Amino acid sequence: MIPLRDENPSSTVPVVTRLVVAVNCVVFLYEILLGPDLRQFTMTWGLVPQRLTAAFVTGEEPVTAGIATLFTSMFLHGGWAHLIGNMWYLLIFGDNVEDVLGKGRFLAFYLASGVIAALAQYFANASSALPTVGASGAIAGVLGAYLARFPRARVVTLIPLFPFFQVAALPASLVLGLWFVFQFFSGALTLAWSVHGGVAWWAHVGGFAFGWLAMHVVKRTDADRWIG
Protein backbone atom coordinates (compact mmCIF):
# COMPACT_ATOMS: atom_id res chain seq x y z
CA MET A 1 0.00 0.00 0.00
CA ILE A 2 1.27 3.45 -0.93
CA PRO A 3 -0.10 6.49 0.98
CA LEU A 4 -0.99 9.34 -1.36
CA ARG A 5 -2.24 11.93 1.15
CA ASP A 6 -4.17 12.15 4.39
CA GLU A 7 -7.54 13.75 5.07
CA ASN A 8 -6.22 15.51 8.16
CA PRO A 9 -5.32 19.14 7.45
CA SER A 10 -2.93 20.86 9.85
CA SER A 11 -3.79 24.21 11.40
CA THR A 12 -0.30 25.70 11.01
CA VAL A 13 2.28 25.91 8.24
CA PRO A 14 4.68 22.92 8.66
CA VAL A 15 7.84 25.03 8.50
CA VAL A 16 10.13 22.47 10.16
CA THR A 17 8.84 19.58 8.07
CA ARG A 18 9.50 21.50 4.87
CA LEU A 19 12.89 22.65 6.14
CA VAL A 20 13.92 19.05 6.87
CA VAL A 21 12.80 18.03 3.38
CA ALA A 22 14.81 20.89 1.87
CA VAL A 23 17.95 19.98 3.83
CA ASN A 24 17.70 16.34 2.75
CA CYS A 25 17.32 17.38 -0.89
CA VAL A 26 20.28 19.78 -0.75
CA VAL A 27 22.50 17.13 0.86
CA PHE A 28 21.47 14.59 -1.78
CA LEU A 29 22.31 17.00 -4.59
CA TYR A 30 25.71 17.47 -2.95
CA GLU A 31 26.14 13.69 -2.90
CA ILE A 32 25.49 13.56 -6.63
CA LEU A 33 28.16 16.18 -7.26
CA LEU A 34 30.76 14.14 -5.38
CA GLY A 35 31.03 11.57 -8.15
CA PRO A 36 33.69 8.95 -7.33
CA ASP A 37 34.26 10.54 -3.89
CA LEU A 38 30.75 9.60 -2.80
CA ARG A 39 31.77 6.22 -1.36
CA GLN A 40 34.31 7.76 0.99
CA PHE A 41 31.82 10.48 1.96
CA THR A 42 29.22 7.85 2.81
CA MET A 43 31.69 5.81 4.84
CA THR A 44 32.69 8.94 6.76
CA TRP A 45 29.25 10.40 7.48
CA GLY A 46 27.02 7.33 7.30
CA LEU A 47 26.47 5.15 10.36
CA VAL A 48 28.94 2.27 10.18
CA PRO A 49 28.18 -0.06 13.14
CA GLN A 50 31.73 -1.39 13.21
CA ARG A 51 33.10 2.14 13.62
CA LEU A 52 30.55 2.93 16.31
CA THR A 53 31.73 -0.13 18.23
CA ALA A 54 35.31 1.04 17.78
CA ALA A 55 34.35 4.46 19.17
CA PHE A 56 32.31 3.41 22.19
CA VAL A 57 33.67 -0.02 23.09
CA THR A 58 37.30 -0.35 22.08
CA GLY A 59 38.25 3.34 21.89
CA GLU A 60 39.87 2.87 18.48
CA GLU A 61 37.78 5.67 16.94
CA PRO A 62 37.00 9.17 18.30
CA VAL A 63 33.78 9.15 20.32
CA THR A 64 32.75 12.51 18.83
CA ALA A 65 32.93 11.02 15.32
CA GLY A 66 30.67 8.15 16.37
CA ILE A 67 28.12 10.49 17.91
CA ALA A 68 28.20 12.74 14.85
CA THR A 69 27.27 9.91 12.47
CA LEU A 70 24.16 9.15 14.53
CA PHE A 71 22.91 12.52 13.28
CA THR A 72 24.56 12.95 9.88
CA SER A 73 23.50 9.52 8.62
CA MET A 74 19.82 10.50 8.72
CA PHE A 75 20.41 13.20 6.10
CA LEU A 76 22.11 10.95 3.53
CA HIS A 77 20.34 8.85 0.90
CA GLY A 78 21.34 6.06 -1.44
CA GLY A 79 19.43 7.14 -4.54
CA TRP A 80 16.51 9.09 -5.96
CA ALA A 81 13.92 6.45 -5.02
CA HIS A 82 15.28 6.32 -1.47
CA LEU A 83 15.07 10.11 -1.12
CA ILE A 84 11.68 10.58 -2.78
CA GLY A 85 10.05 7.74 -0.85
CA ASN A 86 11.24 9.09 2.50
CA MET A 87 10.34 12.70 1.77
CA TRP A 88 6.91 11.68 0.49
CA TYR A 89 6.05 10.00 3.79
CA LEU A 90 7.44 12.93 5.77
CA LEU A 91 5.34 15.47 3.86
CA ILE A 92 2.16 13.41 4.32
CA PHE A 93 2.49 12.71 8.03
CA GLY A 94 4.97 15.26 9.37
CA ASP A 95 2.74 18.34 9.24
CA ASN A 96 0.20 16.97 11.72
CA VAL A 97 2.83 15.78 14.18
CA GLU A 98 4.54 19.18 13.95
CA ASP A 99 1.13 20.77 14.54
CA VAL A 100 0.72 18.85 17.80
CA LEU A 101 4.27 19.20 19.13
CA GLY A 102 5.08 22.70 17.94
CA LYS A 103 8.06 23.57 15.81
CA GLY A 104 10.88 23.41 18.34
CA ARG A 105 9.71 20.19 19.97
CA PHE A 106 9.04 18.61 16.60
CA LEU A 107 12.60 19.25 15.43
CA ALA A 108 14.00 17.79 18.67
CA PHE A 109 11.62 14.83 18.36
CA TYR A 110 12.61 14.21 14.74
CA LEU A 111 16.32 14.18 15.55
CA ALA A 112 15.79 12.00 18.62
CA SER A 113 13.78 9.54 16.53
CA GLY A 114 16.62 9.34 14.03
CA VAL A 115 19.20 8.70 16.75
CA ILE A 116 17.09 6.02 18.47
CA ALA A 117 16.46 4.39 15.10
CA ALA A 118 20.18 4.39 14.29
CA LEU A 119 20.99 2.82 17.66
CA ALA A 120 18.33 0.14 17.13
CA GLN A 121 19.92 -0.78 13.81
CA TYR A 122 23.36 -0.73 15.42
CA PHE A 123 22.39 -3.17 18.17
CA ALA A 124 20.86 -5.48 15.57
CA ASN A 125 24.29 -5.89 13.94
CA ALA A 126 27.08 -4.12 15.81
CA SER A 127 29.83 -5.74 13.75
CA SER A 128 28.65 -4.63 10.30
CA ALA A 129 31.09 -2.67 8.16
CA LEU A 130 28.32 -1.44 5.86
CA PRO A 131 27.12 2.18 6.21
CA THR A 132 23.51 2.84 7.15
CA VAL A 133 22.04 6.01 5.62
CA GLY A 134 18.62 7.55 5.21
CA ALA A 135 15.89 9.51 6.97
CA SER A 136 13.57 6.51 7.22
CA GLY A 137 14.34 5.84 10.89
CA ALA A 138 13.51 9.42 11.89
CA ILE A 139 10.43 9.36 9.66
CA ALA A 140 9.38 6.06 11.25
CA GLY A 141 9.28 8.02 14.51
CA VAL A 142 6.93 10.50 12.85
CA LEU A 143 4.72 7.62 11.67
CA GLY A 144 4.57 6.15 15.17
CA ALA A 145 3.64 9.53 16.63
CA TYR A 146 0.99 10.03 13.96
CA LEU A 147 -0.55 6.64 14.73
CA ALA A 148 -0.64 7.43 18.45
CA ARG A 149 -2.29 10.82 17.93
CA PHE A 150 -4.50 10.24 14.86
CA PRO A 151 -5.39 6.51 14.67
CA ARG A 152 -8.73 7.22 13.02
CA ALA A 153 -7.48 9.78 10.49
CA ARG A 154 -8.19 8.73 6.91
CA VAL A 155 -5.24 8.11 4.62
CA VAL A 156 -5.89 8.02 0.88
CA THR A 157 -3.94 4.96 -0.20
CA LEU A 158 -3.00 3.30 -3.48
CA ILE A 159 -3.65 -0.43 -3.14
CA PRO A 160 -2.01 -2.72 -5.74
CA LEU A 161 -4.40 -5.50 -6.77
CA PHE A 162 -2.39 -6.81 -9.71
CA PRO A 163 -2.94 -6.26 -12.53
CA PHE A 164 -5.13 -3.41 -11.25
CA PHE A 165 -4.81 -0.63 -8.66
CA GLN A 166 -7.43 0.79 -6.34
CA VAL A 167 -7.46 4.03 -4.35
CA ALA A 168 -9.23 3.98 -0.99
CA ALA A 169 -9.35 6.13 2.16
CA LEU A 170 -8.23 3.85 4.99
CA PRO A 171 -7.77 4.55 8.71
CA ALA A 172 -4.23 5.41 9.76
CA SER A 173 -4.37 2.56 12.27
CA LEU A 174 -4.62 0.11 9.37
CA VAL A 175 -2.12 1.76 7.00
CA LEU A 176 0.56 2.46 9.59
CA GLY A 177 -0.18 -0.62 11.67
CA LEU A 178 0.41 -2.88 8.67
CA TRP A 179 3.54 -0.89 7.80
CA PHE A 180 4.97 -1.54 11.25
CA VAL A 181 4.10 -5.23 11.21
CA PHE A 182 5.86 -5.61 7.86
CA GLN A 183 8.96 -3.84 9.16
CA PHE A 184 9.06 -5.95 12.33
CA PHE A 185 8.73 -9.33 10.64
CA SER A 186 11.16 -8.34 7.89
CA GLY A 187 13.67 -7.39 10.58
CA ALA A 188 13.05 -10.64 12.44
CA LEU A 189 13.74 -12.63 9.28
CA THR A 190 17.07 -10.87 8.76
CA LEU A 191 18.10 -11.90 12.26
CA ALA A 192 16.87 -15.47 11.83
CA TRP A 193 18.69 -15.89 8.52
CA SER A 194 21.70 -13.73 9.51
CA VAL A 195 21.11 -11.49 6.50
CA HIS A 196 22.80 -8.09 6.70
CA GLY A 197 22.77 -5.11 4.37
CA GLY A 198 19.87 -3.74 2.36
CA VAL A 199 16.94 -2.15 4.21
CA ALA A 200 17.54 -1.04 7.80
CA TRP A 201 14.45 -2.78 9.15
CA TRP A 202 15.36 -2.39 12.83
CA ALA A 203 15.91 1.34 12.40
CA HIS A 204 12.30 1.51 11.22
CA VAL A 205 11.06 -0.59 14.13
CA GLY A 206 13.05 1.36 16.71
CA GLY A 207 12.09 4.76 15.34
CA PHE A 208 8.40 3.85 15.09
CA ALA A 209 8.25 2.46 18.64
CA PHE A 210 10.00 5.56 20.00
CA GLY A 211 7.60 7.89 18.17
CA TRP A 212 4.55 6.01 19.41
CA LEU A 213 5.76 6.00 23.01
CA ALA A 214 6.93 9.63 22.89
CA MET A 215 3.54 10.85 21.71
CA HIS A 216 1.84 9.03 24.58
CA VAL A 217 4.23 10.77 26.99
CA VAL A 218 3.24 14.08 25.39
CA LYS A 219 -0.41 13.13 25.88
CA ARG A 220 0.12 12.76 29.63
CA THR A 221 2.26 15.86 30.12
CA ASP A 222 0.52 18.20 27.69
CA ALA A 223 -3.12 17.11 27.96
CA ASP A 224 -4.58 20.49 27.01
CA ARG A 225 -3.33 20.05 23.44
CA TRP A 226 -5.30 16.82 23.12
CA ILE A 227 -8.75 18.13 23.93
CA GLY A 228 -11.19 17.03 21.24
What is the per-residue DSSP string for the chain? -EEEEES---SS--HHHHHHHHHHHHHHHHHHHHGGGHHHHHHHHSB-HHHHHIIIII--S-HHHHHHHHHHGGG--SSHHHHHHHHHHHHHHHHHHHHHH-HHHHHHHHHHHHHHHHHHHHHH-TT--S-B--SHHHHHHHHHHHHHH-TT-EEEEEEEETTEEEEEEEEHHHHHHHHHHHHHHHHHHHHHTT--SSS-HHHHHHHHHHHHHHHHHHHHH-GGGG--
Say what the pLDDT of residue 227 is. 45
Phi and psi for 4 in degrees, rounded to 5? -105, -40
Nearest Cα to 146, choosing from 86, 93, 216, 213? 93
Residue 77 backbone class (left: φ over 0; alpha: ψ -120 to 50; beta: rest): beta
The tens digit of pLDDT for each residue in 18-44 reads 999 999 999 999 999 999 999 999 999
Lowest-pLDDT range, 56-65, 124-133, 150-159? 56-65
pLDDT single digits (tens) 179-192: 999 988 888 877 66
- pLDDT of residue 217 exceeding 60, the answer is yes
Number of domains in the chain: 1
pLDDT tops 90 at residue 135? yes
Spatial distance between the Cα atoms of 15 and 225, rounded to a whole number of angstroms: 19
CATH number at residue 110: 1.20.1540.10
Mean pLDDT of 189-205: 72
Q: What is the pTM of this model?
A: 0.91
Over residues 5-15, the mean pLDDT reads 94
Beta bridge partners of 159: 166
Supply the mean pLDDT for the chain. Answer: 90
Domain that holds residue 149: 2-226
Amino acid at 122: Y
